[in-house]
Structure 1
Amino acid sequence: MARPLRSVWDDLAVSYNLKMSIGLVLVFSIFVNLLILTSPIYMMQVYDRVLGTGQIETLIYLSIIAGLALASLGLLEGVRSFLLTRLGHMLDLLLRDPVLTQSIVQSRTPRFERRRLVEDFGTARNYLGSPAVLPFIDAPWVPFFVLIIATIHPWLGVLALVSAIVLFGLALANDYATRQAIQQSGAKAQQANDFAQAAILNAEVVNAMGMQKAVSRRYRHHVEQSGVLSQNAADIGAVISSMSKAIRIAVQSAALGLGALLVIRGELTSGGMIASSIVLGRALAPIEQVIGSWKQFAAAREAYGNLQRFFKALPAQTDTIALPGLVGRLSVEDVAYQLPDAPTPAVRRAAFTMEPGTALALVGPSASGKTTLCRMLVGAIAPSRGNVRLDGADVVTLNPDDVSRVIGYMPQNVELFSGTVRDNIARLGQGNDEATVAAAKAAGCHEMILRLPSGYDTELGPRGAFLSGGQRQRIGLARALYGSPRLVVLDEPNSNLDQDGETALVEAIARAKQAGTTVVVVSHRSTLLQPIDKLGIMRDGVLERFGDRDEVLREMAANAPPRKPTLVPVGEAQAAGTTGGAS
């Protein structure tokens, strides 16, 4: 029989560590639940021995012993709560980094819900580190307390057993009746949160075009759907919780009544009557608390299960070998990419090779697959078919340190991180001042940065919000060029640049080529064609043409319909005093 493959979950040893931690909490729970018997035992002794004999010394000794026991109980309860908070912290240490790392890595996979994974972790972590876990830890002690009551008198034991079974039945009914509603409510709440975040990210569009009422109306619709389902689950839980509370109070009263009857008949002492009522209340309390906190438990159980299934589906990661000496030879092997629900692939067919020190421009109409191809070139997404290789190695499987050293990428929408300009250019690493300044100069933004309030130490705030689009693009270009990578991919790098910025960009591409870097650029402007060696034309997800720049331009000009603007070779355009346009 084949042995199951080891998974990331196995490597993280989460189950083992949780079992060990909860086991330690259970050990303290043994002493806590035993010491809870202090009060009923004290009551029994006072009623049956002290009141009957009038021995004050006995009362004093019993009180001292009970006081020490109750002090120990308080101390152990505190230690148990202390351990639970540490359990939450331990889960942080075990899973916080892997969740973020795998959210980033698995974003290459279509339909991966990065935000949901992080939220599931938060739900599980907050629950496991909270006192809401304690009723579930104390519930297994119910049979022990029922047995204690039965030793006081069998009929009281029967009453305790029946009431415990009824309350457990209510807990199971609560789970059965609310589980689906809680799950559906969570899904609808997630949709509402996603919509709200999208509205905030597009606040400028919402304000500029008066979409506030429409956005609020749609958001309210999502919230109402979630609220109705949550309300249904809460209503069921409230009814069952009130029933359990009423049953517990009624049973405790019934225990006193039955105890009084047994005392009258001479089958029970008055101390035993009081003690059995106290123990019965303690036996039923965890069950009632479980019913009250069931919604939290159900959410945490689902979140933990999602985390477990996700990490168990990932094979154990081995440290990928570093590949020194990568020079940037790019090979695209018949790649394609399609989202599962998309009617057509974003990229259907693309294949080409590039030698170090050459530059390629990808042109074509909107939605032709240029951006998707760029994302595959840098390993941001994995192809549905084919491979992208750098010096023979699949870019998706490269060591992260190699990726940081040899690949530079500037996406269409440049997103910056909270931190300084220096932090962002140096890719959030320790950074090297010389390399940082060199990258900024290569991107033509050194002087611009010096004019900022604190130069390279200027804090950008969330996403570099106070910078203009052109400033963000220049800093994004410097980040892509940091460390002189062997492959640089720039997606629409001049969309927000002025003439000076565009001139600096052309010079940066030329310098990168001279340094032996392979450069891929997406652009609709002919001004970037000057330093370009190769030209690729994309249409409907297919790389229709690929070859030397002037050769492809001549071919396009020859095949263009009459009386329409055409692309002409750059050399001929310059000689004729004209410029071509790529769209």
Structure 2
Amino acid sequence: MKTPSSFQHSELRAALWAFRREFAVCLVFSVLINILMLTPTMYMLQLFDRVMLSQNLVTLTVLTIVMLLCFAAVAFAEWSRSRVLVRLGVKLDQQLNSRVFAASFEAALRQQGKTPTQGFGDLANVRQFLTGNGLFALMDAPWTPIYLIVLFLLHPWLGILGIVFSLILGGMAWVSHRMSHASIEAAQEAGGQVGGYIHSKLRNAEVIEAMGMLANLRARWKARQQHYLELNRQASDVSERVKALTKFVRYTQQSLALAAGAVLVIRGELSPGAMIAANVLLGRVTQPVDMIVMTWKSFLSARKAFLRLEETLAQNPPRDTTLVHAEPKGQLSLKNVIATAPSRPQAILKDLTIDFPAGEVIGVVGPSGSGKSTLARTLVGIWPYTDGRVQLDGVPLERWERDELGPYLGYLPQDIELFEGSIAENIARFGEVEPDKVIRACQRAGVHDMILRFPQGYDTEMGQAGGLLSGGQRQRIALARAMYGDPKLLVLDEPNSNLDDVGETALLKAVQDLKQQGSTVFVITHRPSVLSVADRLLVLNDGRIALYGPRADVIATLQAQAAAQPGPSPAAQPA
């Protein structure tokens, strides 16, 4: 067992080390089980070499009672060991599931890996291995030498035979690992990709059906599925060949052990009872190795899951507990901010340095691809590929405690996502639903009357009604969610893209109300009507600041540029 110092650099290993007492208890039970498993050997020796000669029924009765008591103790020890490990697995899950949830969320936020939810499957895989036969085989394996010693005591040739079969099975385990390791990993990765592919397509079933894309996507899925099945077949073929060969060795072992014992009995070097007992004992010698061979695939899977989970937790450590705990005022500043993306050779935002005063409305305009949405994500601190500093009230955004900052921040992305739950729960961000705040946010977003027309009003479940909402209704509910609680900083990315005139009027009034309360509001838009409430305008072009200043001055400059060079101004270019 590893020392505490060997676990200090791994959160997952440290969690396992915390259960060392439970593992120690299981090892004690394993010692008891393996000692008592010598019972069949001793019983047969006494039965054939003592009882059969003396024909004493009292001795037979006593031996049988002792045997039954030993087997009862074995059953109790195996049940207790399994029970301890099952509860250990539950405790391990309870201890790590919140961390895995947080780390998976961080991985998704930072766009690490293709399947951020893999961590939950990895934790389940590790937990299941801890309660399965593979771990029992590892615990029983150290007793193989002891059984070999007993075989040597019966006769040296029997001990040599036990060593030979143990080496054969051990060699088969090693060969199985060498032959199946790569194919098993490839099959698991391909299976994960197939699952992710199907999940992403089912989320867009309406688009696929409307534009007749199903046949083409099914052909692509079928190719991926065939690749996965082929890899899985290769891995299974190796595993099944090893299992078949293992069965051959096990059956051969039993017969050869009897044959070797018979030869020794004929020579007078072994008693008949010892011959039968040696056959049973030889089975105990090779059983742990045999079990390891049979569970090798699950061991490789658990090992891979352990390493993946360990990497996920290491790459996404717990958040700092010394972060800033305060109510923000809403003053934002960017210092040499550069935003990139893995799929783009050039930066999206290029060395932005700018200050945004608190309590003002800033309109952000620019042509498509100029970096407006990336700027929105950067302002709220969710774009992972950022260099430089984004400061809120003079403090870097990453130094703020996000759970405490969240209620003071509102964000409306272009892609609207409403979650399973009631409308009120969605707007209240799944915290405590305060009816006054929910209604106030909905009235600001101009969606209050619409919600009241639903059969269950604010208690309408989005899982049932979400698919019936129009794009504008979804956007207005999401806008109400962003405005919930009078946030100090509000970032709206194309908030009026799906709004009608009534909704846009409500949006303008809401922005003005928030401004009067001292909120800092960023409005990213292509529609000039929303810019009428802006105090300042920021014009982006190719990831750089083209213009920034009071709205009237920027509009005048844009008009002068348009007059000098005919064509649409940056603010008026389409999305």
TM-score interval, normalised by the smaller of the two chains? over 0.9
Q: In the alignment, which residue of structure 2 is the partner of 1:337?
A: 339
Q: CA deviation at 1:331?
A: 0.9
Q: CA deviation at 1:401?
A: 3.0
For 2:451, the aligned partner's letter is I
Secondary structure at 1:64 match in 2: helix
Q: 1:449-468 alignment to 2 at 5 Å?
A: 449-461=451-463, 464-468=466-470
Q: In the alignment, which residue of structure 1 is the partner of 2:507?
A: 505
Q: CA deviation at 1:480?
A: 1.1
**Mapped partners of 1:427, 1:536: distance in 2:** 30
Q: CA deviation at 1:518?
A: 0.5
Q: In the alignment, which residue of structure 1 is the partner of 2:270?
A: 268
Q: In the alignment, which residue of structure 1 is the partner of 2:52?
A: 51
Q: In the alignment, which residue of structure 1 is the partner of 2:162?
A: 160
Retained in 2: the 8 A contact 1:237–1:291? no
1:61 correspondence with 2:62: yes
**Mapped partners of 1:479, 1:541: distance in 2:** 29
TM-score, normalised to structure 2's length?
A: 0.93
Q: CA deviation at 1:10?
A: 4.2
Q: CA deviation at 1:449?
A: 2.0
Q: CA deviation at 1:562?
A: 5.3
**Mapped partners of 2:283, 2:408: distance in 1:** 68
**Mapped partners of 1:470, 1:5: distance in 2:** 56
Change (3 A) 1:465 1:74: farther
Q: CA deviation at 1:18?
A: 4.8
Q: Which range moved further: 448-457 or 509-518?
A: 448-457
Change (3 A) 1:549 1:130: farther
Q: In the alignment, which residue of structure 1 is the partner of 2:394?
A: 392
Retained in 1: the 8 A contact 2:442–2:448? yes
Q: CA deviation at 1:12?
A: 8.3
Secondary structure at 2:181 match in 1: helix
Change (3 A) 1:467 1:151: farther
Secondary structure at 1:465 match in 2: helix
Change (3 A) 1:32 1:210: same
Q: In the alignment, which residue of structure 1 is the partner of 2:81?
A: 80
Q: Which range moved further: 467-476 or 94-103?
A: 467-476
Change (3 A) 1:6 1:79: closer
Q: CA deviation at 1:315?
A: 5.7
Change (3 A) 1:314 1:461: closer
1:212 correspondence with 2:207: no
Q: In the alignment, which residue of structure 2 is the partner of 1:572?
A: none
**What does the per-residue CA deviation read over 1:71-125, in whole Å, with 9 as the maximum and x for residues that have no partner?**
2211221122212222321221222111111222244435444233343333323
Q: In the alignment, which residue of structure 2 is the partner of 1:401?
A: 403
Structure 1, unpaired ranges of 5+: 569-579
Q: 2:487 aligns with which of 481, 485, 488?
A: 485
Q: In the alignment, which residue of structure 2 is the partner of 1:71?
A: 72
Q: 1:140-179 alignment to 2 at 5 Å?
A: 140-179=142-181
Secondary structure at 2:418 match in 1: coil
1:375 correspondence with 2:382: no
**Mapped partners of 1:155, 1:468: distance in 2:** 82
For 2:403, the aligned partner's letter is D
For 2:476, the aligned partner's letter is R
Q: CA deviation at 1:374?
A: 0.7
Retained in 2: the 8 A contact 1:363–1:582? no
Q: CA deviation at 1:330?
A: 0.9
For 2:64, the aligned partner's letter is S
Q: In the alignment, which residue of structure 1 is the partner of 2:435?
A: 433
Secondary structure at 1:409 match in 2: strand
Secondary structure at 1:45 match in 2: helix
Retained in 2: the 8 A contact 1:107–1:381? no
Q: In the alignment, which residue of structure 2 is the partner of 1:411?
A: 413
Q: 2:518 aligns with which of 516, 519, 522?
A: 516
Change (3 A) 1:22 1:6: closer
For 1:508, the aligned partner's letter is A
**What does the per-residue CA deviation read over 1:482-526, in whole Å, with 9 as the maximum and x for residues that have no partner?**
221110111112222222222111111111111111011111112
Retained in 2: the 8 A contact 1:338–1:346? yes
1:117 correspondence with 2:119: yes
For 1:63, the aligned partner's letter is T
Q: In the alignment, which residue of structure 2 is the partner of 1:24?
A: 25
Retained in 2: the 8 A contact 1:6–1:315? no
Secondary structure at 1:544 match in 2: strand
Retained in 2: the 8 A contact 1:506–1:528? yes
Change (3 A) 1:7 1:322: farther
**Mapped partners of 2:317, 2:263: distance in 1:** 66
Secondary structure at 1:530 match in 2: helix
Q: In the alignment, which residue of structure 2 is the partner of 1:42?
A: 43
**Mapped partners of 1:24, 1:410: distance in 2:** 54
- Percentage identity across aligned positions? 36
Retained in 1: the 8 A contact 2:367–2:573? no
1:96 correspondence with 2:97: yes
Q: CA deviation at 1:448?
A: 2.0
Change (3 A) 1:26 1:412: same
For 2:473, the aligned partner's letter is Q
Secondary structure at 1:182 match in 2: helix
Q: Which range moved further: 317-326 or 57-66?
A: 317-326
Q: In the alignment, which residue of structure 2 is the partner of 1:227?
A: 229
Q: CA deviation at 1:250?
A: 0.3
Q: 1:530 aligns with which of 524, 529, 532?
A: 532
**Mapped partners of 1:215, 1:539: distance in 2:** 36
Secondary structure at 2:454 match in 1: coil
For 2:350, the aligned partner's letter is R
Q: In the alignment, which residue of structure 2 is the partner of 1:246?
A: 248
**Mapped partners of 2:411, 2:259: distance in 1:** 78
Q: Which range moved further: 431-440 or 498-507?
A: 431-440
Change (3 A) 1:6 1:434: farther
Q: In the alignment, which residue of structure 2 is the partner of 1:323?
A: 325
**Mapped partners of 2:397, 2:436: distance in 1:** 28
Change (3 A) 1:178 1:567: closer
1:180 correspondence with 2:190: no
For 1:16, the aligned partner's letter is W
**Mapped partners of 2:6, 2:90: distance in 1:** 29
Q: CA deviation at 1:226?
A: 2.2
Q: Which range moved further: 237-246 or 335-344?
A: 335-344
**Mapped partners of 1:549, 1:238: distance in 2:** 73
**Mapped partners of 1:217, 1:93: distance in 2:** 42
Report the RMSD for the aligned CA atoms in angstroms: 2.4
**Mapped partners of 1:548, 1:510: distance in 2:** 17
Retained in 2: the 8 A contact 1:416–1:463? no
Change (3 A) 1:499 1:129: farther
Retained in 2: the 8 A contact 1:10–1:316? no
**Mapped partners of 1:286, 1:5: distance in 2:** 27
**Mapped partners of 2:465, 2:74: distance in 1:** 51
Q: Which range moved further: 503-512 or 146-155?
A: 146-155
Retained in 1: the 8 A contact 2:133–2:295? no
Q: CA deviation at 1:21?
A: 3.5
**Count of aligned pairs:** 569
**Mapped partners of 1:431, 1:130: distance in 2:** 44
Retained in 1: the 8 A contact 2:348–2:370? yes
Secondary structure at 2:230 match in 1: helix
Change (3 A) 1:316 1:236: same
Structure 2, unpaired ranges of 5+: none
Retained in 2: the 8 A contact 1:538–1:545? yes
Q: 1:548 aligns with which of 539, 550, 559?
A: 550
Q: CA deviation at 1:129?
A: 3.4
Change (3 A) 1:227 1:434: same
Q: CA deviation at 1:20?
A: 4.0
**What does the per-residue CA deviation read over 1:222-276, in whole Å, with 9 as the maximum and x for residues that have no partner?**
2222222222222112112211111111011111111112122222122211111
**What does the per-residue CA deviation read over 1:323-361, in whole Å, with 9 as the maximum and x for residues that have no partner?**
323211111222111123422222223232222221112
Q: Which range moved further: 74-83 or 340-349?
A: 340-349
Retained in 1: the 8 A contact 2:7–2:17? no
